[in-house]
A and B are shown apart, each in its own frame.
Chain A
Amino acid sequence: MTKVDTRIPVTVLTGYLGAGKTTLLNRILTENHGRRYAVIVNEFGEIGIDNDLIVDADEEVFEMNNGCICCTVRGDLIRIIEGLMKRRDKFDAIIIETTGLADPAPVAQTFFVDDDVRARSMLDAIVTVVDARHLGLRLADSHEAEEQIAFADVILINKTDLVTPQELEEVRQRVRTINGQARVHETVRCDVPLADVLERGAFDLDRILEIEPDFLGEDDHEHDDSITSVSVRSEVPLDGGRFNTWLRQLVAVQGVDILRLKGIIAFKNDPERFVVQGVHMLLDGDSQRPWKTDEARVSRLVFIGRNLDQAALAEGFRTCVA
């Protein structure tokens, strides 16, 4: 049986001031794709946006009173998404623009923590626009610039016409070191086919199966608290109980350092593909669809965060083999 997902897809746009977020947003809103968007903008928006349904967000970040030390959510988004559902015949999808200085974690966690938000909407992708000229500077002077790249599912390295090929290669390397699993596009004026950015859904999750293992978790750390990606995989199906226990304990202990995790898991004696996603200490997993007959039952888990120990993660993952 196929589950019909009636939830509204949500795309989050992040990126530093001047990187080109508004250019991308205006392209999304003006191109003729037949989709209608509700846009949630921040109050410091760069320039005017022309759309029927615009909502001001005040970026109210709340700590959850649930004993989870790094669990913060965007209270305004919970309210806005609930309110928008009263006019859900007016739009097909939601775009959330964040300020350049915003930490993406509370936005992502909102979609994990709040049951009403989860019932009505689904986080489709976090799209981060990076200014190729200023990335080095941004990474040096702000925590948020690095986290925005770390949290991304799709990254646009924009304004590539304003840098030399060598500078572009450096930017590429920096982005890849931080986030080895995102889909990266190089653009001049955010000129990427919108189909590569919007409503990617499960399609992009499959990307983690394509990543070259050697590419991730390399040891060119510049300083200890820089963000890296680590990927682990297994050709042998896993034991469901052991995997759950291991992952829960891992995020309970290391959740502060783990910004995001994503995985596709094959459990022994389970005909369904299991997908798991996480932000800090929050986990969300579900059976996605049956494995296809011609599909290799490979389990793959990707972590993005600080102080990730590749060897320890690989060893922990190995103990889950059934």
Chain B
Amino acid sequence: MSADTVEQVPLVFTHGKRLAPGVPVSAVVWLGDEAALALGDGSVRFAGMHGERARIDAHHGAILSAARHPDGVSLVSGGDDGRVLRVGGDGTVTELGAFGRDWVGGIDASPRSNLIVAAAGAVVTVWLPGAVRPSHSYAFPSTIGGIALGAKGLRLAVSHYGGAALLYPKSAQSSRFALEWAGSHLACTLSPDCGYLVTATQELGLHGWRLPIGADMAMSGYSAKTRSFSWDRRAKWLATSGDARVVLWPFDGKTGPMGRKPSLTGARGALVTMVAFHPAQDILAVGYADGAVVLAKIDDDNFVLVDEPGGAAVSALAWNDAGTMLAWGDEDGGAGLLDMKVRA
């Protein structure tokens, strides 16, 4: 912590609201001014600055993954009950797919292509725009570590044991660009222009491929697995979790981070578990293993405390589209909202 940090009242007490869902938070998704918290008991809680408005019991087990549905008024969730559900803010629950005893560990959806993708076991399934049943699927030789759609929602990255693959998910007969690298690849992300694919590895650190050639990059030095990626609005920086500071890799220029050092921010003596860039400003929300949430800037050691330490590891963190509200949740069932429009 920098020397000039003064005792500061966490913003959640002056500009926000604490929530207490009481079960681990797997994901948080904004639907307008309301946050939808996807939880470990299979329920989805809809909450705003007035508190929790509705609780929908959706899955029979834990929700493992969730994303905003392209329709903008619901979320798509994947559970350890093997199901993919659409859960509407109005309380409706629709089953989009069921995958037996395979866990649905990854979900992504694009408001631009209107595609939904889900990973269950070693299979990635696609829902074409408007589909309420699976449209087509792609099988892989091992369980999927992570899936991610590009900014336009037209390309899909899939990470797995031994490497990753790039597909065009609109087509059932999509070609596959296979990218090989030894080891187990977990979460993945595509740069907004689809020029880079980056995965988190079991051995800690990141592996990246510069596209279209597939030149390899290794980014090491992490003390824990990277579980959270966030690109800034100009796609210059990739913020990553997994160390005692936010590690930000530069992706400008022709070769991105190759041969360059990362920028570091948000050091306060706890492991960074979640990162989320503000959609319109150079502000980064950071969640830590000790439950704290802060707002940080690149190349600036100062930060603003949003929520104080003392809780469990932050496991979900998201801004609303306008960048006026932030929501977070932790592994022990704590959660909170920040509303930047509120005057103290």
Tell me whether B121 is interfacial, beta carbon within 8 Å: yes
Could you tell me the distance in whole angstroms from the C-beta of A203 to the nearest C-beta in chain B? Answer: 30
Please report the C-alpha to C-alpha distance between residue A76 and residue B145 in the assembled complex, in whole angstroms: 10
Contacts of B64 in A (CB 8 A): 83, 86
Contacts of A85 in B (CB 8 A): 24, 331
Contacts of A80 in B (CB 8 A): 103
CB of A64 within 8 A of CB of B202, answer: yes
CB of A60 within 8 A of CB of B161, answer: yes
Tell me whether B307 is interfacial, beta carbon within 8 Å: no
Query: Beyond A62-B184, A83-B80, A89-B23: 7 further Cβ-contacts under 8 Å?
Result: A56-B101, A60-B161, A63-B182, A64-B202, A65-B184, A65-B201, A66-B203
Contacts of A55 in B (CB 8 A): 80, 101, 103
Chain B residues with a Cβ closer than 8 Å to the other chain, count: 27
Closest A residue to B315 by beta carbon equals A86
Near B by CB (< 8 A), chain A positions 56-88 give 56, 58, 60, 62-66, 73, 75-76, 78-80, 83, 85-87
Please report the C-alpha to C-alpha distance between residue A62 and residue B160 in the assembled complex, in whole angstroms: 11
Please report the C-alpha to C-alpha distance between residue A85 and residue B121 in the assembled complex, in whole angstroms: 19
B62 partner, pick from A62, A75, A86, beta carbons under 8 A:
A86
Tell me whether A92 is interfacial, beta carbon within 8 Å: no
Mark each residue of chain B from 290 to 329: 1 if its CB lies under 8 Å from any CB of chain A, else 0. Answer: 0000000000000000000000000000000000000000
Tell me whether B26 is interfacial, beta carbon within 8 Å: yes
CB of B202 within 8 A of CB of A60, answer: no
CB of B105 within 8 A of CB of A83, answer: yes
Contacts of B62 in A (CB 8 A): 83, 86-87
Please report the C-alpha to C-alpha distance between residue A232 and residue B203 in the assembled complex, in whole angstroms: 34
CB of B203 within 8 A of CB of A79, answer: no
Mark each residue of chain B from 98 to 109: 1 if its CB lies under 8 Å from any CB of chain A, else 0. Answer: 000111010000
Chain A: residues with CB nearer than 8 A to chain B?
55-56, 58, 60, 62-66, 73, 75-76, 78-80, 83, 85-87, 89, 114-116
CB of A65 within 8 A of CB of B203, answer: yes
CB of B40 within 8 A of CB of A65, answer: no
Q: What DSSP secondary structure best describes chain B's contact surface?
A: loop
Contacts of A58 in B (CB 8 A): 121, 143
CB of B202 within 8 A of CB of A115, answer: no
CB of B61 within 8 A of CB of A60, answer: no
User: Can you list 22 contacts pairing A with B, beta carbon distance less than 8 Å?
Assistant: A55-B80, A55-B103, A56-B101, A58-B143, A60-B143, A62-B184, A63-B183, A64-B203, A65-B182, A65-B202, A66-B203, A79-B143, A83-B64, A85-B24, A86-B23, A86-B24, A86-B62, A86-B63, A87-B61, A87-B62, A87-B80, A116-B224
Known: A62-B161, A76-B143. A86 touches B40 (CB 8 A): yes
Contacts of B24 in A (CB 8 A): 85-86
Please report the C-alpha to C-alpha distance between residue A12 and residue B201 in the assembled complex, in whole angstroms: 26
CB of B225 within 8 A of CB of A87, answer: no
Known: A83-B105, A116-B225. A65 touches B183 (CB 8 A): yes
Please report the C-alpha to C-alpha distance between residue A115 and residue B101 in the assembled complex, in whole angstroms: 27
Closest A residue to B204 by beta carbon equals A115
Tell me whether B243 is interfacial, beta carbon within 8 Å: no
Tell me whether B142 is interfacial, beta carbon within 8 Å: yes
Please report the C-alpha to C-alpha distance between residue A63 and residue B224 in the assembled complex, in whole angstroms: 19
Chain B: residues with CB nearer than 8 A to chain A?
23-24, 26, 40-41, 61-64, 80, 101-103, 105, 121, 142-143, 161, 182-184, 201-203, 224-225, 331
Contacts of A78 in B (CB 8 A): 202
Please report the C-alpha to C-alpha distance between residue A65 and residue B102 in the assembled complex, in whole angstroms: 26
Could you tell me the distance in whole angstroms from the C-beta of B252 to the nearest C-beta in chain A? Answer: 29
Contacts of A56 in B (CB 8 A): 101-102
Closest B residue to A62 by beta carbon equals B184
CB of A86 within 8 A of CB of B202, answer: no
Contacts of B105 in A (CB 8 A): 79, 83
Contacts of A73 in B (CB 8 A): 202
Could you tell me the distance in whole angstroms from the C-beta of B137 to the nearest C-beta in chain A? Answer: 17
Please report the C-alpha to C-alpha distance between residue A275 and residue B5 in the assembled complex, in whole angstroms: 42
Contacts of A86 in B (CB 8 A): 23-24, 26, 40, 62-64, 80
Please report the C-alpha to C-alpha distance between residue A115 and residue B313 in the assembled complex, in whole angstroms: 15
Contacts of B183 in A (CB 8 A): 62-65
CB of A87 within 8 A of CB of B224, answer: no
A87 partner, pick from B41, B121, B202, beta carbons under 8 A:
B41
Contacts of A60 in B (CB 8 A): 142-143, 161
Please report the C-alpha to C-alpha distance between residue A115 and residue B243 in the assembled complex, in whole angstroms: 13
Please report the C-alpha to C-alpha distance between residue A56 and residue B99 in the assembled complex, in whole angstroms: 13
Contacts of A114 in B (CB 8 A): 202
Contacts of B331 in A (CB 8 A): 85
B202 partner, pick from A75, A83, A89, beta carbons under 8 A:
A75
Please report the C-alpha to C-alpha distance between residue A78 and residue B200 in the assembled complex, in whole angstroms: 15
Closest A residue to B80 by beta carbon equals A83
Closest B residue to A75 by beta carbon equals B184
Contacts of A65 in B (CB 8 A): 182-184, 201-203
Please report the C-alpha to C-alpha distance between residue A58 and residue B331 in the assembled complex, in whole angstroms: 26
Contacts of B23 in A (CB 8 A): 86, 89
Please report the C-alpha to C-alpha distance between residue A316 and residue B280 in the assembled complex, in whole angstroms: 64
